[in-house]
């Protein structure tokens, strides 16, 4: 199996389980606009920028709805958890010299609300947010921005995410991609380079054996 020196992660659904917080706050924001939908019909919003999600609805003032959605999201922070095994994985990878990065559709403010509070940011040398690029996932620009800032080549870099937008972003930039299935099992339309069924599977991307104490 090919190995990599740069592992880049998505956040929602990959490092953090934010599903219920995202869906409940979106449901609330839409209800204020007279749009009432069950959570299952809002799942498309997972893994894509909030602005893109709101384009699906006939909203007179989408920017205002986005602000209300973001504000409500902070009330559901207690529903957000780090996936089991992720902190140990990140620490060990970093300590063994593997370069770690993040590409997220979150803005810097949104990133601070959950990711920053949960203490994971310290493990990453490069974090690319929605504020850093003009185009966002699934466009290649976020990954190209990561490659530019990190000095990495596309050949040594892999992007790990749970959604089509993540996979497409990597492939369009000439990078490999891995589908993280420990948070959700939806089948993507895009074919990933690798499929990771559990957090421990990440070790094989760097040619390491998982530490039994991390299971």
Q: Which residues of 125-149 are buried (b: 16+ CB within 10 A; e: fewer)?
A: ebbbbbebbeebbbbbbbbbbbbee
Per-residue pLDDT, 215:
43
pTM: 0.90
Mean pLDDT of the chain: 93
Domain boundaries along the sequence of the chain: 6-17+82-214, 19-79
What are phi and psi for residue 34, nearest 5 degrees?
Answer: 80, 15
In terms of Cα–Cα distance, which of 212, 29, 21 is closest to 110?
Answer: 21
SS3 for 41? helix
Per-residue pLDDT, 211:
64
Which class for 194: exposed (0-12), middle (13-18), buried (19 or more C-beta within 10 A)?
Answer: middle
User: In this predicted model, what pLDDT tens digit does every residue of 23-47 receive, in sequence order?
Assistant: 999 999 999 999 999 999 999 898 7
In terms of Cα–Cα distance, which of 156, 188, 39 is closest to 30?
Answer: 39
- Enter the CATH code of domain 6-17+82-214: 3.40.50.1000
Per-residue pLDDT, 214:
47
User: In this predicted model, what pLDDT tens digit does every residue of 129-174 receive, in sequence order?
Assistant: 999 999 999 999 999 999 999 999 999 999 999 999 999 999 999 9
Fold (topology level) of 19-79: DNA polymerase; domain 1 (1.10.150)
User: In this predicted model, what pLDDT tens digit does every residue of 48-100 receive, in sequence order?
Assistant: 778 889 999 999 999 999 999 999 999 999 999 999 999 999 999 999 999 99
């Amino acid at each position: 199996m090919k190995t990599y020196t740069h592992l880049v992660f998505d956040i929602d659904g990959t490092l953090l389980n934010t599903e219920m917080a995202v869906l409940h706050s979106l449901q609330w924001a839409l209800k204020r606009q007279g749009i009432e939908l069950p959570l299952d019909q809002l799942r498309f919003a997972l893994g894509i920028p909030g602005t893109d999600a709101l384009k699906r609805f006939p909203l007179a003032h989408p920017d205002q709805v986005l602000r209300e959605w973001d504000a409500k999201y902070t009330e559901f922070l207690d529903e957000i958890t780090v996936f089991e095994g992720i902190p140990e994985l990140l620490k060990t990878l970093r300590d063994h010299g593997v370069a770690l990065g993040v590409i997220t559709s979150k803005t810097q403010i949104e990133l601070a609300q959950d990711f920053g509070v949960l203490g994971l940011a310290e493990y990453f040398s490069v974090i690319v947010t929605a504020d850093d690029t003009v185009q966002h996932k699934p466009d290649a620009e976020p990954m190209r921005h990561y490659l530019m800032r990190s000095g990495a080549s596309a050949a040594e870099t892999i992007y790990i995410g749970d959604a089509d937008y993540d996979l497409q972003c990597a492939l369009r930039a000439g990078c490999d991609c891995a589908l993280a299935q420990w948070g959700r099992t939806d089948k993507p339309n895009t074919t990933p380079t690798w499929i990771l069924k559990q957090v421990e599977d990440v070790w094989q991307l760097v040619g390491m054996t998982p530490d039994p104490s991390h299971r």
